[in-house]
Structure 1
Amino acid sequence: MKKHIFLALFITTFCFAQKTTVYCIGDSTMANKKDPDRNPEHGWAQVLQPFFTDNIIVVNKAVNGRSTKSFINEKRWDSICKKLKKGDYVFIEFGHNDEKIEDSTRYTNPHTAYRYNLIRFVKETRAKGATPILLTSIARRNFNEKGVLVPTHGDYPLETRLVAQEYKVPFIDLEYYTELLEQSYGPEKSKQLHLHFKAGENGYYDKDKADDTHLSLKGATAVAQIVIDQIKLLEESSIEKLKKQIK
């Protein structure tokens, strides 16, 4: 009897130990939103778990309004880094709030502080035996009067690309692929990917809502699908375990 109990405990412990954690760090475009059954807004990492088997645990630590600077200064990164174990993954997508030049608690120079914060995430993740994956910021729905999607992120995506290249980090150019997504919907239909409601149209909003940065459930799911599709195409050996757990 004792042998059976011990064996059951061993199997349970072994199976639990086999779980791989995917930590997501970033801003509101990624983050979990309160009251998801009523709230039209969703972060793309909020809907990521169903794309994986049960052997992957998605832990979404992205937080509204955070830049690389504030995420670090608030000790949010330290709390994650302490928990990282060999074989885990960290999805890193910042930029929207690093751009906030009017806010000294969040703004980073893309070529200095932002760059070195990304390098810190990469190095400290690898020091724990985990794998970082860098992603550029999702595109905003920012069409001009000619129907041209105009970029809004300045040099932040460029620096993300350069860090990924220099440090040989698995990389997903999410800005590029979400630009394609926005363009495929066009200036009007792309509103469906975001938060566009007239007053009273949705019970969650009592005033007109026109948000071209944050995502609807439709938009979040589409972005999550892009991330999954791009993971499948990554060639780094460190990603193979993750690729095998995609449904």
Structure 2
Amino acid sequence: MAKERSSGAGDPARTLELLWRDGAPSVPGGRRGPRQGLTVDAVVEAAIGLADEGGLDALTMRAVARRLGVTPMTLYTYVPGKAELLDLMLDSVFLGMPRPAFAAGEPWRERVTAVADANRALYLGHPWLAELRVHRPPLGPGVMTKYEHELGAFEGVGLDDVAMDSALTHVLGFVQTVARTELDARAVERESVLSDHEWWAAHEPLLTRVLDPERFPLATRVGEASAVAYQGLYDAGHAYAFGLARVLDGLAALIPPGSAAR
């Protein structure tokens, strides 16, 4: 199960060939395939659609084959297995991300915010990404294009190359964490018979009786203030904006005082 939720778990050589379409013709062997028009790209697109709809649990080679109208054995002539398919899916969604160009002279905080916003949108658009462990990312065109673009947010601010890589990793790690929390909250509300507001209303009478403000003065005061501000138990937008601002404040300490980025 762990292998089926991790990147980089397939055959490295075959995965790289498929990622860069090196030695992977649209129809294996250059001959007409079992289904005219079927390609590696079509297989990847079908797999992404399944994962978008039902998460990684819904993604099986049999399910992909059924969506494409072919037998599982036919599918294996295009992609060796699920491990390689996950790498292809990840690289594909990375390659398809919107990547607005950074304007000349644009403040670094705005550039980094644009990177963070784009990654948050990617997670929310493809929730299965939050389920996937990406310790060894597939070094395909999507991963490399994304990395090249996002490093540009830190170019020219006075950081050395290692610090640029670390800063980007820090930002992306924050985005992944808050996106996963937001997706969990959405799943709970979707699967529950109660919205957050309804859940709170149902429990408030009992909580009012058992939670003693004198025993928990800070928890009571801060909790009530937060509930009013969030209009519920949690505000994903506020959590993201507040956390990103703190991440940017921390990165600002790394930028040399004499840098033009200041």
Greater helix share, 1 or 2? 2
- Normalising by structure 1, report the TM-score: 0.30
Structure of greater Rg:
2
Greater strand share, 1 or 2? 1
